[in-house]
Structure 1
Amino acid sequence: MKKILVLGTGGTIASVKTEEGFKSSLDINEILRHAGIKLHNGYEIHTKNILNIDSTLIQPEDWEIIAKEVYSGLRDYDGIVISHGTDTLAYTSSMLSFMVQNPTKPVVITGAMKPITEPGSDAVKNLRDSLLFAMEAKIGGIFVVFNGKVMNGCRVSKINSVDVDAFKSINYPDIAYIDEGGQIKYNANILDSYSRPRGSLKLDTQYDPRVFVLKLIPGLDSRVIDGLLDMGCFIGSDKWNF
């Protein structure tokens, strides 16, 4: 029997309504219970809570925690699903793509635009699709599964803060689509690139916090750049590197 690891990190999907608004408080077992998920097609699901925070509060050291859990889990499990807040989901999926290198098993990151406790939440579909892909995928890598789309983890961007179709793969085709019947339909044009030989699984959690992405606009005061350089930052933009 194949085994799947589901990691909980908090976010909207784990939120409940309080007097002060929604707060991330459900653990991953409660999330799966609300979604009606126990076993899926005879697969064994194991869970672990590693964070429980609003994803806007996530820090690079949290990415390191997640990456280490994923790296460790890939040795014992056939696939991994990470439940995450949507605001920084794309950042986490991108960082994992570089921190956990050459995975031969699927690592899936997902979340929800509406808490699992709320009627009509998209969490149920996203969780079921993610588990399905983690269990049945023909390919390994870091992926984002959201609203029926399977996307390359380092190409995803959040493009909508309201609609359930909140994420888009930028300048790279979607990997696959999951229909309402639970069928995975792969993009045949890119499957070959995922089946090519890779190196061995590697963990590299080194990062440099002195990186700042500066949006260049007309009238930008050069003192902004000077100040960042004085702080020891490496500055990048979509046009130049300093």
Structure 2
Amino acid sequence: MKKILMIGTGGTIACKQTDAGLTPGLNAEDILSYIPAVKHICTVEAIQVLNLDSTNVTPKHWKIIVKAIEENYSNYDGFVICHGTDTLAYTAAALSYMIQNSAKPIVITGSQKPISKDVTDAKSNLLNSFIYAADDESQNVNIVFDGKVICGTRAKKERAKSFNAFSSINFPYLAIIQDERIIRYIPEVPVRGIPCFYYEMSDKVTLLKLYPGMNPDILSYLFSNYDIIVIESFGVGGMPESLMEKFYEEMDNLAGTDKLAVMTTQVANEGSNMTVYEVGRQIKQDFHMIESYDMTLEATITKLMWLRGMNYSNARLREAFYTEINKDILFKKS
């Protein structure tokens, strides 16, 4: 029987009702007590490393989770992380870059309702996570939620209340879990070699979401204070005419530095392609801009945090950004 380590971090799954609203109050052992059927699936031990509403999760908390997995990696066959849903997709993407080449499964799950409620998705999500973590073919960082297995770099929370909160963006579900059986849609290519653990995540990456009528002066502030600006543009990616003069001025000032602008899209599905329209083609050509193509915003942000944390030059960062990690990018035309 496989030996799995459950890592508690708080989140809705661990919440109790208080006068001030729901707040994490159950520890990992408490949560486990609600799914006694797990003893037929695997042997479970539990640790609590955080006790947060996931709104409060930051890169320093990702490092704590990574450290817990690295320190226990040789002692367990897999890991299940209980996490709040609001930033779960960011954590799954971040862990995909911070823990690479893992032949052991690292499963992240949570719930839309606390596990202590009579009506909850927590029990099925957690039990399914152990089923997936205890399977011989499971590996790397994935999310298990609502009976679906989502690659860690491909998830997005698209529903605030419904149990089917997460979708897999621009990539199929890896598997579904029905009646305690895993039905795999995509066979895993077995991981070879040893796992790699990373801890440095740069805080010099920021996001600019474009909207009609935006004041161009914001560009000066962001380029002065951050190394990488991810521009969340409209459609397949471009720059409004009202921002173009200031954008060119700032990009010209960055010439010869290690600062970058990276283009992504506000549209969840089908990705960017800056060469389609004049508003994107010209700036991509003039500045050889990186764009995210079919990557999720969560993966784009966390991958750039990781790459800038590695202190790569712009040329090496560009190459590494377009290098696929845990199925994060398929379409590449750098």
- 1:202-229 superposed Cα distances (whole Å, 9 cap, x missing partner): 0011111111111122222111111111
Contact 1:139 1:195 in 2 (8 A): no
For residues 17 and 214 of structure 2, the distance between their equivalents in structure 1, rounded to whole angstroms, comes to: 42
Correspondence for 1:229: 223
For residues 83 and 221 of structure 1, do their structure 2 counterparts lie closer, same or farther at Cα, with a shift above 3 Å needed? Answer: same
Question: Relative to structure 2, which stretch is displaced further, 29-38 or 146-155?
Answer: 29-38
Correspondence for 1:13: 13
Runs of 5+ unmatched residues, structure 2: 239-259, 262-334
2:197 to 183, 189, 203: 203
Tell me whether 1:35 sits opposite 2:4 in the alignment.
no
Cα RMSD (Å): 1.5
Correspondence for 1:213: 207
Correspondence for 1:111: 110
Contact 2:101 2:193 in 1 (8 A): yes
For residues 116 and 197 of structure 1, do their structure 2 counterparts lie closer, same or farther at Cα, with a shift above 3 Å needed? Answer: closer
Please list every run of at least 4 consecutive aligned residues from structure 1 whose deviation after the TM superposition is greater than 3 angstroms. 35-38, 196-199, 238-241
Tell me whether 1:184 sits opposite 2:182 in the alignment.
yes
Contact 1:16 1:25 in 2 (8 A): yes
Give, in angstroms, the shift of residue 198 of structure 1.
Answer: 4.1
Question: Relative to structure 2, which stretch is displaced further, 164-173 or 62-71?
Answer: 62-71
For residues 190 and 99 of structure 2, the distance between their equivalents in structure 1, rounded to whole angstroms, comes to: 17
For residues 165 and 13 of structure 1, the distance between their equivalents in structure 2, rounded to whole angstroms, comes to: 15
Whichever structure has more helix as a proportion of its residues is 2
> Which residue identity lines up with residue 68 of structure 2 in the other structure?
E
Higher relative contact order (CA closer than 8 Å, sequence separation 6+): 1
Correspondence for 1:23: 23
Give, in angstroms, the shift of residue 160 of structure 1.
Answer: 0.2
For residues 37 and 90 of structure 2, the distance between their equivalents in structure 1, rounded to whole angstroms, comes to: 27
For residues 76 and 35 of structure 1, the distance between their equivalents in structure 2, rounded to whole angstroms, comes to: 23
For residues 208 and 9 of structure 1, the distance between their equivalents in structure 2, rounded to whole angstroms, comes to: 22
For residues 191 and 25 of structure 2, the distance between their equivalents in structure 1, rounded to whole angstroms, comes to: 41
Contact 2:3 2:43 in 1 (8 A): yes
**TM-score, L = length of structure 1:** 0.93
Tell me whether 1:87 sits opposite 2:86 in the alignment.
yes
> Which residue identity lines up with residue 95 of structure 2 in the other structure?
L
For residues 217 and 198 of structure 1, the distance between their equivalents in structure 2, rounded to whole angstroms, comes to: 45
> Which residue identity lines up with residue 14 of structure 1 in the other structure?
A
> Which residue identity lines up with residue 122 of structure 2 in the other structure?
A
For residues 111 and 171 of structure 1, do their structure 2 counterparts lie closer, same or farther at Cα, with a shift above 3 Å needed? Answer: same
State how 1:75-154 maps to structure 2 within 5 Å.
75-154=74-153
> Which residue identity lines up with residue 131 of structure 2 in the other structure?
L
For residues 66 and 40 of structure 2, the distance between their equivalents in structure 1, rounded to whole angstroms, comes to: 25
Runs of 5+ unmatched residues, structure 1: none
For residues 40 and 68 of structure 2, the distance between their equivalents in structure 1, rounded to whole angstroms, comes to: 23
> Which residue identity lines up with residue 104 of structure 1 in the other structure?
A
Which has more radius of gyration? 2
